[in-house]
Structure 1
């Protein structure tokens, strides 16, 4: 469940949004190539321009989704477990087992990998995974087990996506000697303020934790480029998700 906030030219409205409805909005936004951005709290921001009859400029419409139940801090161990569950096509929790496999009870099974009972319980309590309907199966071909399907919720996937693409911008170097920035033969301004012979370098680098980086002419452009990178990565990842 998400808290949905819609901001438009005529005001702001707030309400609740189910995960199924959020996925429908997400698919529509991806298909129509609206700018998307995941948040570290497990939320999503969808932005689009709305054209009105008789208007020469569009109005901005923003839909923000935030988990109704905060996910809290996602530890590296939780992240590893969530990735394993998301990558598995048959993740389930063992709710009942016979000897000698009763130590499997409470574990989330993922083939050769499993999530211990305590860690599995935390994922459920924090709302990072959701449980399906229990069913009966057999372990090792003959021992009955009660199993419950497990899947990673959309909010947790969005939080992991945002954590993979944390961007930052570098502070401009200010006044430097021309030779230090490859401008040999150039002479800077000879003015008071300890700038004699130097030129102003306002360039800034936008970088991301995924390894991407790009130099720009100033920090404002770097912020814009970083935002565009986050949106591009979010659109590509969410397109695969939907």
Structure 2
């Protein structure tokens, strides 16, 4: 679940939305050419401009998606487990004395499995199939493309992309464009099976 905050002509409004609705908003933003970025908390920010019919001036509009439970800190072990689950075919296994996730050849211990579920980084369907939540995927994406500070006119992304420009503002805009392209590719890459799994909840 996410909280959707919409900034519009009358102010702003907010309300709860499902993963499926959040994915629909990201797809619609992509189709309309709106700038969207993943956020570290596991949400996304969608921004666009429109012409005000009264003033004939461009005005900013936005939709912010905030996960009901922010992704929070992801240590190396948690990220490694999420990466394995993200490959697909992960299963939630119940035995007499254990509840754990099996991802490939890796057994994720009961305690870590419980933490992943409690933090809503993974979801388990009624057949025991495990997937990353949309919030987890967005949070991981944002961490892979975080802008690092630097001297004026220079910016660096955690993925290694560096930008040198006449000013810090221009460098930041280039990095923002990069993050928007990354999220666009992510949205395009979501397959029908994942979308269906989200919709079934």
Q: TM-score, normalised by structure 1?
A: 0.73
- In the alignment, which residue of structure 1 is the partner of 2:198? none
Rounded Cα–Cα distance in structure 1 between residues aligned with 2:59 and 2:176:
20
1:168 aligns with 2:161: no
Rounded Cα–Cα distance in structure 2 between residues aligned with 1:95 and 1:52:
57
Please tell me the root mean square deviation across aligned C-alpha atoms, in Å: 1.8
Distance 1:12 1:54, change over 3 A: closer
SS of corresponding position for 1:107: strand
**1:169–1:222 contact (8 Å) kept in structure 2:** no
- Greater radius of gyration (CA): 1
Rounded Cα–Cα distance in structure 2 between residues aligned with 1:169 and 1:70:
24
Rounded Cα–Cα distance in structure 2 between residues aligned with 1:59 and 1:65:
20
**2:147–2:155 contact (8 Å) kept in structure 1:** yes
- Map Cα deviations across residues 3-23 of structure 1 (whole Å, 9 max, x no partner): 111012320111111111111
Rounded Cα–Cα distance in structure 2 between residues aligned with 1:114 and 1:30:
37
- Map Cα deviations across residues 81-135 of structure 1 (whole Å, 9 max, x no partner): 11111111x2111113xxxxx67x422112212211111111001111111104x
- Map Cα deviations across residues 165-213 of structure 1 (whole Å, 9 max, x no partner): 01134224xxxxxxxxxxxxxxxxxxxxxxxxxxxxxxx2121111111
Choose the corresponding residue for 2:118, options 125, 128, 132.
125
- In the alignment, which residue of structure 1 is the partner of 2:45? 45
Q: Give the CA deviation at 1:72.
A: 2.3
- In the alignment, which residue of structure 1 is the partner of 2:156? 207
- In the alignment, which residue of structure 2 is the partner of 1:73? 73
Specify every segment of 5 or more residues in structure 2 that has no aligned partner in the other structure, as ranges.
Answer: 192-201
- In the alignment, which residue of structure 2 is the partner of 1:232? 181
Choose the corresponding residue for 1:150, options 127, 130, 155.
130
Greater helix percent: which structure?
A: 2
